[in-house]
Amino acid sequence: MSSYHPPKRDSMRNQIRTPALVQNRKRIVKHQEPKAVPPPPSIDEDTVDLGAIVIDNGTGSTKAGFAGEDDPRCVFPTLVAHPTSTFGPNSKAQVGKQAEAKWSVLDVQQPIDRGIIQNWDDMETIWHHTFYQLKASSQHHPVLLTEVPLNPKANRERMTQIMFETFKVPALYINNTAILALYANGRTSGCVLESGEGVSHAVPVCEGYVIPHAILRLPLGGKDLTQLLQNALAERGHALQDHIEKNFSDEGLVLTSTAVQVQVRTMKETLGYVALDFGQETIKAVDKSAALEKSFDLKDGTSIQIGNERFYFPEHLFQPNDLMGLEEEGVADMTFQAIMKCDELLQYDMFSNIVLSGGSTMFPGFRERMLKELTALAGSVEITINDTAGRANAPWVGGSILASLEQFNHLWITKQEYDETGSSIVHTKCY
């Protein structure tokens, strides 16, 4: 009997970048039910529903759904609210949006910090909630999990162990968010600038493989920008906390600092933008401050006016050293330096395939500022920056595409392989 040979990764990459797949992805996957795929050799096809589940766990939000679909079926804050008492209506832990609504009366925690899982008990709670929201049994679906660049090896092994031993998944794959963001854009090579809620990275990828020595990290993300905006509003004299406190007291609740941040975050996402030239925008703000003024309505009906704060807080992503005293360079400089760390033969392709990913790249003007700064740094080299409208969900979309490809079927880590090798198998099969 002939031995089984898994498909080569090169053929899988060709499928991902096939023009027909890229151009017609909407037609191929829109409104489809989870795609049934042939099982890995050790999975019993009669007892396992093989619609793969894709879970993207971020610092700020968790996105989950089925492979082959356009969008995640559920998106919720990566939060766990622990009860402060073992009795009464708030004696049970809450997850996601329910936890966010209980900021004032429960101890709310984020199990992921700067992209790295720190609290494994809370992370298990998040995953239990994820399967519940999808109305899916973890024992009946292969699972693709995302991970941030530079995820510690011990964390990768712990993720693998929990999925197989606690959730009894039949098969697992763990993949880098930057690689998946490229797949979502129909590419297998390029430099991904990803900026989420907790951290930002510049990640060069060649033919589906990360170039590890070229990865650069900036410990700055959306939650920091929220705090910066809150500080700026306080310095300007806005009694933001007083207004929100009144709303909470009217509802019989007690205000927490995080309850304030929830509304400030909404303000940030609604009114923030990146200045093409920070210096010129600052001068313009002094001369024509009224033109920059925008209003934001709080829940109690109070209207808050903000002006130059709108472009001041996103500027920290581009000038963290000057504005915050961080050692790291801003996102444009970081992207340039990451590309320059690559082999010279790869640099042209990297500059012509820059992909933006993550919610903190969604500010109006972000792409234009990146292009301006990179053009100044790279000289005559042609630069192309891809900023698709759905880039906040790019890693999940890339995972959906990858896990639905027929060539990917036998690349899963199976339960049999886990039992034979242990959690360290993740380093040989998911790289």
* CA nearest to 328, candidates 233, 240, 218, 234: 218
169 within 8 A of 139, measured Cβ to Cβ = yes
pLDDT confidence of 25, banded at 50, 70, 90?
very low
Mean pLDDT of 302-308: 85
Buried b (16+ CB within 10 A) or exposed e, 236-245: eebebeebbb
3-state SS string for the chain: CCCCCCCCHHHHHHHHHCHHHHHCHHHHHCCCCCCCCCCCCCCCCCCCCCCCEEEEECCCEEEEEECCCCCCCEEEECCEEECCCCCCCCCCCEECHHHHCCCCCCEEECCEECCEECCHHHHHHHHHHHHHHHCCCHHHCCEEEEECCCCCHHHHHHHHHHHHHHCCCCEEEEEEHHHHHHHHCCCCCEEEEEECCCCEEEEEEECCEECHHHCEEECCCHHHHHHHHHHHHHHHCCCHHHHHHHHHHHCCCCCCHHHHHHHHHHHHHHHCCCCCCHHHHHHHHHHCHHHHCEEEECCCCCEEEECCHHHHCHHHHCCHHHHHCCCCCCHHHHHHHHHHCCCHHHHHHHHCCEEEECHHHCCCCHHHHHHHHHHHHHCCCCCCEECCCCHHHHHHHHHHHHHHCHHHHHHCEEHHHHHHHCHHHHHHHCC
Beta-carbon neighbour count of residue 55 at 10 Å?
22
More confident residue, 249 or 1: 249
The pLDDT value given to residue 299: 73
Strands 190-195 and 354-357: what pairing? Answer: parallel
Strongest mean pLDDT among 141-150, 222-231, 257-266, 297-306: 141-150
> What is the spatial distance between Cα 81 and Cα 306, in angstroms, rounded to a whole number?
32
Confidence class for position 230, pLDDT limits 50, 70, 90: confident
Least confident range from 24-38, 145-159, 210-224, 412-426: namely 24-38
pLDDT for the residue numbered 293: 86
Q: Which of 408, 414, 353 is nearest to 386 (CA)?
A: 353
Residues 92-102 have a mean pLDDT of 76
Question: Cβ(370)–Cβ(356) under 8 Å?
Answer: yes
- Residue 352 in contact with residue 187, Cβ under 8 Å? no
Asked whether 51 and 11 are in contact (CB, 8 A), the reply is no
CA distance 32 to 51: 11
Same fold? 9-185+393-429, 222-317 = no
What is residue 239's predicted lDDT score, i.e. its pLDDT?
57
Task: Work out the pLDDT band at 19, boundaries 50, 70, 90.
Answer: very low
* For the ranges 105-109, 251-255, 261-265, 276-280, the one whose mean pLDDT is highest: 276-280
Q: Topology of 187-219+328-387 in CATH?
A: Nucleotidyltransferase; domain 5 (3.30.420)
Average pLDDT over residues 97-104: 69
The more confidently predicted of residues 101 and 352 is: 352
Q: Tell me which of 44 and 127 has the higher pLDDT.
A: 127
**Fold entry, domain 222-317:** Actin; Chain A, domain 4 (3.90.640)
Fold of 9-185+393-429: Nucleotidyltransferase; domain 5 (3.30.420)
Mean pLDDT to the nearest integer, 113-142: 96
Residue range 296-325: mean pLDDT, rounded: 89
Please name the residues in contact with 254: beta carbons below 8 A apart, sequence gap of 6 or more: 104, 105, 248
What's the pLDDT at 28? 27
Of the candidates 364, 191, 210, 188, the one whose C-alpha atom is nearest the C-alpha of residue 276 is 364
* pLDDT for the residue 3: 32
Mean pLDDT of the 57-76 span:
96
Residue partners of 71: CB distance under 8 A and separation at least 6? 65, 390, 393, 397
Annotated domain spans of the chain: 9-185+393-429, 187-219+328-387, 222-317
* 80 pLDDT above the threshold of 50: yes
Of the ranges 103-112, 245-254, 351-360, 365-374, which one carries the lowest mean pLDDT score? 245-254
Tokens of 2: 């002939």
Q: pLDDT tens, 178-190?
A: 999 999 999 999 9
CA distance 192 to 187: 11
Average pLDDT of the residues in 395-400: 98
pLDDT band at 231, cuts 50/70/90? confident
pLDDT at 320 over 80: yes
Can you tell me which residue has the tokens 């020595």? 213
